[in-house]
A and B are shown apart, each in its own frame.
Chain A
Amino acid sequence: MADLVVTQETEPPADKRPDRKRADKKRTRPAFLGERGWGRKWTLAVVAWSVALIFVAPYAEMFIGALRPSDELTKPGYLPSTFEWSNFVNVWKDSTLGDNLQVSLLVAGLSTVLVILVALPAAYYTARRRYRGRGAFLLLVLVTQMFQPTALLVGLYREFYNADLLDSVWALVLVNGAFNLAFAVWILTAYFGSIPVELEEAAMIDGASRFGALRRVTLPLAMPGIVTAVIFAFITAWNEFVVGLALITTPEKQPLTVGINSFLGAYEVQWQYLFAGSVIAIVPVVILFAFIEKHVVSGLTAGSIK
């Protein structure tokens, strides 16, 4: 390992990390919307809240739909006469929703573990060393990010047909793991790159082993990046639709996004259950997303935009 070149310059890590406080301080206030003032501030607020309302409205309607009594589903009207909370209980009966939820948790959970196990060493090494083929590796990751499972669907279908993995949750774990890898590599490379190698060296002088230094110094400092990668990989796999639709045919093995299709019957649509299932699927990931909101853009644009 001694022949490998140390690649980091000294710089306090906070300087380069996408830190929340720093971003706020740096934010510019363009002058062109007029002078700051009481009236302007509240006008902006009212406009922004109206926009926010438009973004919330469909999901509010989804929630209200989930609470409609079944005899009021086909009646026009903004609100039902009573809220039928039992819809959220009954949706589990006579449907595969419980199984679908399990599949979604399994696929999103395992594919996220796969992403992190594969991305962590690659990102750490790429941030720390300049090796032959580093540029090629980064280009491969960038190109991977631009390919989407939808575009490769027929190829994926044929591959898993040949491998006898059609209708298997493992196929979904692999596909989600591979296609969410790029985001994790970008985020983690940026975070590891921002941690000075001197911190690791200091720990090693103090008697820590290389992996001890990694575990006690580097990984904790990179935690915001790891959390972002974990949450993003989980949400993307959780919401994945088209591969699940194409590869999984057994209703009990389908993920939640595909499974709720069973409520969309040819002759009758069970809207209340469809929406109850959707609310159950959406609420947790929106809350998770709020935690990583600030960091997502840099991973999706491969760092082209900070």
Chain B
Amino acid sequence: MRETASPPTSRKPSGDDGQAAPAARRPFSARLRTALGPLPWISPAIILIAFVVLWPVVEMVRSSFLRIRRSGIVKGSNGTDNYKKLFDEPDFTHVLWNTMVWVVCVVGITIVLSLALAQLFNQQFPGRRVARWALIIPWAASVFMTAIVFRWMLHHSYGAINTLLVDLHVIDEGKDWLGEPSTAFPWMIGVAVFVSLPFTTYTLLAGLQTIPGEVYEAARMDGASTWRTYLSVTLPLLRPAILVAVVINLINVFNSFPIIWAMTGGGPGYETDTTTTFMYKIKASDIGESAALSVVNFGIIIVLVLLYLGVNRWNKEAD
């Protein structure tokens, strides 16, 4: 795990393992000092993580088995009733399905488009720096505010996208895109792709830069076509970057809240909710049930994190 977790730019420290063996012969006070040595340096970080990241996990699991009043007061244990209530929700299956469509479509489309964008922005052309700055705006800007402006542009009577589509004769009159789940969901997927593209493209660009120019020379010598070179040389060498981008995006997109919240609020009803927005909505009426859903969500995230750690290790071993 040690190697997996350390960033590549920090050189592997040497001569460490010698520390354990002689330590056994040193007096207890010296050994204690070695063991406690790191604490002044790293304990603030551990304390902060323990209280703000790890403790909420415990609190969340505990709450999922409690009966909690809307005011927040705990009214004793609730056994597994919160989970039963959650799985009996008539909309739960639909929300799960939405979540799967949401995650698979957003991540899939993002990766494919980012592969193309990374190739494009890896080339030399006039004004490349300015063009790359444009790319970072959705990354730096608040996702909630970005989603709000899309909601405005999609407004059925005065939204710019409707105006444009009518002027281009794609549609005859303004459409209420966000009023219908069948059109709202694809638009929200589009916005999620839009805000995921910068990070993904930059990650793939970083991956492209680790590919040495000589392999392209070699491919050209062998007379490989451009497309063939891309499939047989670039893509395999880009695999580590692609895998990391996929897993980080899976986690981000699964947790995505502001886009759906800003554009449809999950509505009409629960038609366009994912498990994340659904969890937030039921928090207002039944926090125990919301905690139960959080635990389910958290289980999914744990699987994704393990996937990330596995990918990280795999990438390091492949080096």
Using CB atoms and an 8 Å cutoff, list the residues of chain A in contact with chain B.
3-9, 11, 16-18, 23, 26-34, 36, 41-42, 44-45, 47-49, 51-53, 55-56, 58-59, 61-62, 65, 73-78, 114, 117-119, 121-122, 124-144, 146-148, 150-159, 161-162, 174-175, 177-179, 181, 185-186, 189-194, 235, 238-239, 241-242, 245-246, 257, 260, 264, 271, 274-275, 278, 281-282, 285-286, 288-290, 293, 296-298, 300-306
B149 near A302 with CB under 8 A, answer no
Chain A interface helix/strand/loop/mixed: helix
A31 near B219 with CB under 8 A, answer yes
Complex: how many Å from CA A121 to CA B49? 15
B140 near A289 with CB under 8 A, answer yes
Chain B contacts for A47, CB-based, 8 A: 120
Does B122 count as interface, using CB distance less than 8 angstroms? Answer: yes
Chain A contacts for B177, CB-based, 8 A: none
B13 near A30 with CB under 8 A, answer no
Additional A-B contacts beyond A45-B127, A147-B53 (19; CB < 8 A): A3-B34, A5-B14, A28-B212, A47-B120, A135-B1, A138-B6, A141-B5, A146-B304, A152-B53, A154-B63, A181-B49, A275-B152, A281-B145, A282-B137, A286-B141, A289-B139, A289-B140, A297-B205, A304-B8
Chain B contacts for A156, CB-based, 8 A: 52, 56, 59
Chain B contacts for A288, CB-based, 8 A: 140
Q: Mark B41-81, 1 if CB is under 8 A from A, else 0.
A: 11011101101110111111111000000001000000000
Complex: how many Å from CA A157 to CA B10? 37
Complex: how many Å from CA A31 to CA B210? 16
A154 near B136 with CB under 8 A, answer no
Chain B interface helix/strand/loop/mixed: helix
A114 closest partner in B (C-beta): B48
Which of B86-94, B99-107, B180-188, B226-234 lies on the face that meets chain A?
A: B226-234
Chain A contacts for B5, CB-based, 8 A: 135, 138-139, 141-142, 302
> Interface residue count for B (Cβ, 8 Å)?
140
Shortest Cβ gap from B260 to chain A (Å): 11
Does B131 count as interface, using CB distance less than 8 angstroms? Answer: yes
Complex: how many Å from CA A213 to CA B140? 35
B204 closest partner in A (C-beta): A305
B308 near A52 with CB under 8 A, answer no
Q: List 21 A-B contacts (CB under 8 A).
A: A3-B33, A8-B11, A9-B11, A28-B213, A28-B216, A30-B119, A30-B208, A48-B127, A59-B149, A65-B152, A125-B41, A132-B19, A136-B1, A139-B5, A147-B305, A152-B298, A174-B48, A241-B142, A246-B283, A278-B149, A304-B311
Shortest Cβ gap from A135 to chain B (Å): 3
Complex: how many Å from CA A177 to CA B53? 11
Chain A contacts for B227, CB-based, 8 A: 32
A242 near B312 with CB under 8 A, answer no
Contact of B6 among A65, A73, A303 (CB under 8 A): A303
B255 near A178 with CB under 8 A, answer no
B128 near A48 with CB under 8 A, answer yes
A159 near B30 with CB under 8 A, answer no
Complex: how many Å from CA A51 to CA B149? 19
Complex: how many Å from CA A192 to CA B143? 32
B131 near A235 with CB under 8 A, answer no
Most chain A CB inside 10 Å of its own CB: which residue of B35, B143, B158, B198: B158
B209 near A41 with CB under 8 A, answer no
Chain A contacts for B220, CB-based, 8 A: 31
B315 closest partner in A (C-beta): A304
Contact of A289 among B55, B136, B174, B240 (CB under 8 A): B136
Complex: how many Å from CA A288 to CA B245? 24
A302 near B7 with CB under 8 A, answer yes
Does B16 count as interface, using CB distance less than 8 angstroms? Answer: yes
B150 closest partner in A (C-beta): A58
Which residues 265-319 of B have a CB within 8 angstroms of A? 276, 279-280, 283, 287, 290-291, 294, 297-298, 301, 304-305, 308-309, 311-312, 315-316
Complex: how many Å from CA A186 to CA B10? 10
B53 near A179 with CB under 8 A, answer yes
A150 near B276 with CB under 8 A, answer yes
A73 near B38 with CB under 8 A, answer no
A121 near B41 with CB under 8 A, answer yes
Complex: how many Å from CA A217 to CA B195? 39
Complex: how many Å from CA A304 to CA B309? 10
A76 near B158 with CB under 8 A, answer yes
B226 near A34 with CB under 8 A, answer yes
Chain B contacts for A122, CB-based, 8 A: 41-42, 44-45
Does B163 count as interface, using CB distance less than 8 angstroms? Answer: yes
B206 near A274 with CB under 8 A, answer no
Chain A contacts for B149, CB-based, 8 A: 58-59, 61-62, 65, 275, 278
Does B248 count as interface, using CB distance less than 8 angstroms? Answer: yes
Contact of A118 among B44, B63, B131, B308 (CB under 8 A): B44
Complex: how many Å from CA A175 to CA B55? 12
A4 closest partner in B (C-beta): B37
B15 near A241 with CB under 8 A, answer no
Shortest Cβ gap from B183 to chain A (Å): 18
Chain B contacts for A257, CB-based, 8 A: 142, 144-145
A155 near B294 with CB under 8 A, answer yes
Chain A contacts for B202, CB-based, 8 A: 293, 296-297
